């Protein structure tokens, strides 16, 4: 196995995937080290010891390639490097870097694993390690799937350590002392006699050295930043002073402002348009039809507001897209597909004998549905593009910079090396910025106005109507109880496929095989029920859909846990006790026990008109339980308290973890209570926040969060707070009122304060 | 047309019905106030006009008259942050941060008028500003902390 060790060392910097999984793969591409992109444009005297650390005479730059959409990824990536580099990240320059293969995300496909996350057997780990290699082969530089921390945890600390040791070697050479006699502190190498040499002073000498890659990572008990309760986000102050610049805030000399109206029927063409009224409006410079992305008409003006006003004055005639026109027709198609053997997509869970169990005696049945949902982050889609004969530059907040680079190269006929994607901080995403229609439109406009930077901003209305929403779906459940226990649990979910359409839009490639997202969050739960089956059915492609915070689990967590709650009540058991009895995964049981203790659980009833609900969902490898307490008042349901317990393995930034968990709960409740996209005439009826209400402060319950660290490894936490919230609320409403709600949003069935 | 923003006078050549928000952002490159909805629903564009919290997407620049505009960029003193900003940092409120200029401007104007607010008053005043990331629990805590600080003097 000597070769494994050697390959390991050689590839660790960028190919740590092979090591993290404990397997070194023989394939050439897999083990071939990927070139360090920072080496390409270094000036004399600058060192880029790894793809993540660049040192010049003027400063130390930390490259944080995973995009920040609010979840704190820039901050935690900087701390991961800084912990080993011995430098306060606040004293460094942070840069997301230009997208390149060295920054591929090994963990992003983990949630698509055919093994449930609670399975930590050797086979499961081997399969996961294979899944880590695929993104490398495709150079999948992507932010998503709560994967930033798991993917970067080793890579970035290792990069910091390599940089530190190489700088020490440079100092050792200079001073003629062995490297082992030197130490580092706050951006300096300290020699035996106490002299401090700044890293920046050593840049030129370090650049001439082979990086020292034989390093040992520090024991977490020696950490100075990571895991400390007082750790603060490095982007906090600029976000509180207005200094933070998002993509939508950038400006360049000579820039013009564009807005667009595209066919609300996504994929449908533009038949004709009449812009005569718009042409003479103030500030308008140009009006043009756009074909890329979604077909539409763009106005280029001297101010975004002029552009939006002129867009609104254009009369467009659209060609219908290839999907049903209304929500009614769409739900008919979803209902038709469920339990139809012809549309069977996958059945990853089938234990006991469900058919036999359901063949005799009384069967409990229930039908559920969830709507399409917009992501609706606060910052609407925007991109700045400048095309010249020499290059294409794109400034935008995005989770998928490499797909954008490839597409812009194809559109412009420019080599990919001449396309530069400058990733900007995002004002939220929730999965919205895993798409690039707006960038394609901006590139097409900029190609027709070479030399002029074009900032395309979607109006909120355009953003809502051209989102690729969370899929709508329906679920049919059947179950039985026996001797006061849940005995048979069988659910069938029907949904249009999500992943293939999305990947096809971005890459032009097709993904064969089943679409796991139809049942992620339901088939993979850590429960042992005697007869237990989860089946996914594939409805026809309809409105093109995409990933929405927590992806499949956003709806399947609701289906699985609510239906389980129904059966538990049928059995006459206590909702928390019975979940604990059925749960066969120790960390998940601990999570449930802890939420019980935190909420002083003593049954679902809390007196007249009051009730509490518990819900559990394991998503992205994180077992998460929530309890919500409600009161049924004369004005409607009031949310009093919420409790969240999650086990994410090792916690790196405690305050941000807490914020992500309660933020996930609030995001989920916003939609569980208030929001849906309904379709008429091929487009959504809800076009702005007045019709798509998020939770407001006055509706937000008091929230308590407790985080456990018993799971092995380390997990991301941007998404796992979402799935249990809707079922916990629904279960609480049942406890308080006896009314079971099986469709989101709940305000279609009950009033809220 | 003339307007005063953060103590500096500017001359702009725009239609009088252009909302103040777009004058600030696209004409003056003052980008702290954000565009979120354009219809007074989200509050991301909130600025102060003569000390009152105003949705800049709703105020035509021609109607500003002599009103002095303060944006988040002009809230702090030269050598110290505003009490509300400091409370926001202490409580690590922001996630994506896109709504936070509006949240902070709303909170600052509100505490100016009502330095000893009750929970209900805080809930009511701050519910005008939407946060899609769900930072509300810390907004609540930070407004309380800022109010306490202001009372200390
Ligand atoms: S942009 Fe002004 S309230 Fe939303
Ligand atoms: S912090 Fe992201 S919208 Fe409020």
What's the order of all strands across the beta sheet hosting A622-633?
A610-619, A622-633, A636-647, A702-708
Q: What whole-number percentage of chain B has pLDDT above 90? A: 96
d(CA B52, CA B36): 20
Residue in A457, A462, A379, A386 with CA at minimum distance from that of residue A418: A386
Residues A36, A132, single domain; the answer is yes
Residues A425, A482, single domain; the answer is no
d(CA A306, CA A300): 9
Ligand 1: atom nearest CA of B40 is 3
Residue whose CB lies within 8 A of the most ligand 1 atoms, among B41, B59, B129, for a mutation test: B41
Residues A212, A252, single domain; the answer is no
Q: Does B126 touch chain A (CB under 8 A)?
A: yes
Token look-up 């059995």 returns A571
Ligand 2: atom nearest CA of B133 is 2
Confidence of residue A48 (pLDDT cuts 50, 70, 90): confident
Q: Which residue has the higher pLDDT, A166 or A34?
A: A166
d(CA A181, CA A594): 48
* A304/B35 Cβ within 8 A: yes
Residues of A in contact with B38 (CB under 8 A): 308, 459-460, 688
Q: Nearest ligand, CA of residue B98?
A: 2
Residues of B in contact with A242 (CB under 8 A): 31-33, 71-73, 75, 101
Q: What are the structural domains, with CATH classification, of chain B?
A: 2-75 (3.10.20.30), 83-152 (1.10.150.120)
Range with lowest mean pLDDT among A95-99, A130-134, A425-429, B135-139: A130-134
Q: What is the mean pLDDT of chain A?
A: 90
Residues in the ligand 2 pocket, defined by CB under 6 Å: A 70, 378, 428; B 94-100, 131-133, 135
d(CA A203, CA B152): 50
pLDDT for position A13: 25
Domain final residue, candidates A197, A212, A241: A241
Confidence of residue A443 (pLDDT cuts 50, 70, 90): very high
Classify B24 as helix, strand or coil: helix
- Kindly state whether residue A2 falls inside one of the protein's structural domains: no
Domains identified in chain A, total number: 3
pLDDT for position A34: 64
- Kindly state whether residue A298 falls inside one of the protein's structural domains: yes
pLDDT for position A2: 32
pLDDT for position A23: 19
CATH code of A141's domain: 3.30.365.10
Q: What is the per-residue burial (b if ≥16 Cβ within 10 Å, else e) of B5-27?
A: bbeeebeeebbeebbbbbbbbbb
- By residue range, what is the domain housing residue A477? 327-373+469-748
Q: Does B57 touch chain A (CB under 8 A)?
A: no
Residue whose CB lies within 8 A of the most ligand 1 atoms, among B26, B33, B36, B71, for a mutation test: B36
Residues A53, A189, single domain; the answer is yes
pLDDT for position A128: 66
Domain final residue, candidates A457, A490, A513: A457
Residues A481, A546, single domain; the answer is yes
- Kindly state whether residue A462 falls inside one of the protein's structural domains: no
* B41/A655 Cβ within 8 A: no
Residues of A in contact with B79 (CB under 8 A): none
Q: What whole-number percentage of chain A has pLDDT above 90? A: 78
Domain final residue, candidates A398, A433, A457: A457
* A659/B85 Cβ within 8 A: no
Residue of B nearest to A426 (CA): B96
Closest Cβ opposite residue A242 in set B22, B32, B89 = B32
Tens of pLDDT, residue by residue over A104-113, are 777 766 666 6
Task: Please say whether the dihedral angle defined by the alpha carbons of residues A60, A62, A63 and A67, taken in this order, is positive or negative.
Answer: negative
- Kindly state whether residue A11 falls inside one of the protein's structural domains: no
Token look-up 């603060």 returns A232
Tens of pLDDT, residue by residue over A349-408, are 999 999 999 999 999 999 999 999 999 999 999 999 999 999 999 999 999 999 999 999
Residue of A nearest to B45 (CA): A378
A69, A248, A378: which to substitute to probe chain B, counting the most B Cβ within 10 Å?
A378
pLDDT for position A16: 23
Residues A695, A733, single domain; the answer is yes
* A428/B127 Cβ within 8 A: no
Residues A357, A448, single domain; the answer is no
Note whether B31 and B25 are within 8 A (CB): yes
- Kindly state whether residue A7 falls inside one of the protein's structural domains: no
Residues A509, A590, single domain; the answer is yes
Residues A85, A190, single domain; the answer is yes
- Kindly state whether residue A647 falls inside one of the protein's structural domains: yes
Tens of pLDDT, residue by residue over A318-352, are 999 999 999 999 999 999 999 999 999 999 999 99
Residues A558, A444, single domain; the answer is no
pLDDT for position A136: 62
d(CA A668, CA A720): 11
- Kindly state whether residue A9 falls inside one of the protein's structural domains: no
Residues A406, A268, single domain; the answer is yes
Residue of A nearest to B139 (CA): A697
d(CA A313, CA A345): 45
**Predicted TM-score (pTM) of this structure:** 0.92
pLDDT for position A719: 94
pLDDT for position A337: 98
- Kindly state whether residue A48 falls inside one of the protein's structural domains: yes
Average pLDDT over residues A482-489: 98
Q: What is the DSSP letter of A698?
A: G
Residues A591, A675, single domain; the answer is yes
pLDDT for position A132: 66
Residue in A171, A200, A173, A206 with CA at minimum distance from that of residue A187: A200
Note whether A653 and A79 are within 8 A (CB): yes
Distance A74 CA to ligand 1 centre (A): 27
pLDDT for position A319: 97
* ipTM of the shown complex: 0.98
């Amino acid at each position: 196995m000597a070769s494994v060790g050697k390959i390991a060392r050689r590839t660790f910097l960028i190919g740590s995937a092979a090591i993290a999984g404990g397997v070194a793969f023989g394939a050439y591409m897999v083990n071939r080290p990927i070139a360090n992109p920072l080496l390409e444009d270094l000036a004399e005297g600058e060192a880029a010891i790894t793809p993540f650390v660049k040192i010049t005479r003027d400063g130390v730059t930390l490259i944080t390639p995973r995009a920040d959409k609010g979840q704190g990824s820039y901050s935690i990536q900087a701390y991961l490097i800084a912990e080993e580099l011995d430098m306060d990240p606040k004293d460094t320059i942070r840069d997301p870097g230009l997208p390149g293969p060295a920054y591929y995300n090994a963990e992003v496909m983990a949630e698509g694993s055919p093994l449930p996350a609670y399975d930590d057997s050797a086979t499961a780990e081997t399969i996961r390690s294979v899944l880590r290699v695929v993104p490398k082969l495709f150079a999948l530089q992507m932010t998503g799937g709560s994967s930033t921390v798991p993917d970067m945890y080793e890579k970035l600390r290792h990069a910091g350590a390599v940089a530190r040791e190489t700088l020490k070697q440079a100092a050792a050479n200079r001073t003629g002392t062995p490297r082992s006699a030197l130490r580092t502190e706050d951006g300096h190498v300290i020699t035996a006699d106490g002299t401090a040499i700044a890293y920046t002073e050593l840049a030129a000498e370090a650049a001439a050295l082979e990086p020292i890659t034989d390093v040992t990572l520090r024991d977490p008990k020696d950490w100075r930043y990571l895991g400390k309760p007082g750790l603060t986000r490095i982007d906090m102050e600029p976000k509180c002073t207005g200094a933070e610049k998002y993509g939508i805030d950038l400006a360049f000399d000579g820039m013009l402002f564009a807005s667009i109206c595209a066919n609300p029927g996504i994929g449908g063409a533009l038949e004709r348009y009449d812009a005569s009224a718009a042409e003479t409006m103030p500030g308008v410079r140009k009006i043009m039809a756009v074909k890329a992305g979604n077909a539409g008409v763009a106005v280029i003006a001297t101010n975004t507001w002029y552009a939006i006003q002129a867009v609104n004055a254009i009369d467009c005639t659209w060609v219908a897209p290839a999907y049903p026109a209304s929500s009614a027709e769409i739900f008919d198609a979803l209902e038709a597909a469920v339990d139809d053997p012809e549309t069977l997509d996958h059945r990853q869970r089938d234990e006991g004998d469900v058919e036999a169990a359901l063949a005799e005696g009384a069967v409990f049945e229930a039908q559920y549905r969830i709507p399409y949902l917009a992501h609706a982050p606060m910052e609407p889609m925007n991109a700045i593009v400048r095309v010249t004969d020499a290059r294409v530059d794109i400034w935008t907040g995005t989770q998928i910079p490499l797909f954008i680079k490839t597409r812009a190269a194809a559109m412009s006929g420019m080599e990919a090396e001449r396309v530069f994607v400058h990733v900007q901080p995002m004002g939220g995403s929730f999965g919205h910025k895993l798409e690039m229609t707006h960038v394609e439109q901006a590139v097409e406009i900029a190609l027709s106005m070479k030399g002029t930077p074009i900032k395309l901003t979607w109006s909120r209305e355009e953003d809502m109507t051209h989102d690729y929403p969370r899929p709508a779906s329906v679920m049919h459940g059947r179950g039985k109880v026996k001797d006061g226990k849940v005995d048979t649990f069988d659910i069938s979910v029907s949904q249009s496929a999500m992943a293939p359409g999305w990947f096809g839009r971005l890459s032009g490639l097709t993904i064969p095989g089943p679409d796991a997202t139809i049942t992620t969050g339901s088939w993979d739960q850590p429960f042992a029920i005697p007869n237990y089956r989860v089946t996914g059915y594939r409805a026809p492609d309809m409105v093109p859909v995409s990933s929405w915070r927590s992806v499949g689990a956003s709806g399947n967590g609701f289906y699985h846990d609510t239906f389980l709650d129904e059966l538990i009540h049928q059995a006459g058991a206590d909702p928390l006790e019975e979940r604990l009895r059925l749960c066969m995964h120790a960390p998940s049981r601990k999570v449930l026990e802890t939420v019980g203790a935190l909420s002083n659980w003593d049954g679902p009833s809390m007196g007249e008109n009051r009730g509490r609900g518990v819900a559990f969902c394991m998503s992205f490898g994180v077992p998460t339980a929530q309890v919500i307490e409600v009161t049924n008042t004369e004005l409607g349901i009031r949310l009093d308290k919420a409790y969240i317990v999650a086990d994410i393995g090792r916690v790196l930034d405690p305050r941000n973890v807490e914020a992500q968990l309660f933020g996930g709960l609030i995001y989920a409740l916003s939609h569980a209570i208030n929001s849906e996209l309904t379709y008429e005439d091929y487009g959504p009826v809800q076009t702005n926040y007045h019709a798509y209400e998020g939770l407001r402060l006055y509706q937000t319950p008091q929230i308590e969060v407790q985080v456990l660290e018993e799971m092995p490894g380390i997990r991301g936490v941007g998404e796992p707070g979402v799935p249990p919230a809707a079922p916990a609320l629904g279960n609480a409403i049942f406890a308080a009122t006896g009314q079971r709600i099986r469709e989101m949003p709940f305000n279609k069935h009950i009033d809220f304060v | 047309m003339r307007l005063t923003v953060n103590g500096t006078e500017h001359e702009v050549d725009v239609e009088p019905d252009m909302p103040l928000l777009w004058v600030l952002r696209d004409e003056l490159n003052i980008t702290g106030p954000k565009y979120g909805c354009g219809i007074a629903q989200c509050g991301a564009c909130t600025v102060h006009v003569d000390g009152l919290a105003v949705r800049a997407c709703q105020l035509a620049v021609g109607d500003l008259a002599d009103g002095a505009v303060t944006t988040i960029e002009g809230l702090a003193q030269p050598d110290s942050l505003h009490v509300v900003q400091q409370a926001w940092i202490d409580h690590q409120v922001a996630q994506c941060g896109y709504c936070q200029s509006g949240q902070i401007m709303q909170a600052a104007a509100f505490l100016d008028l009502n330095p000893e607010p009750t929970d209900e008053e805080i809930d009511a005043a701050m519910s005008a500003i939407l946060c899609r990331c769900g930072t509300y629990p810390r907004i609540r805590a930070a407004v309380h902390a800022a109010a306490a600080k202001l009372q200390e003097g």
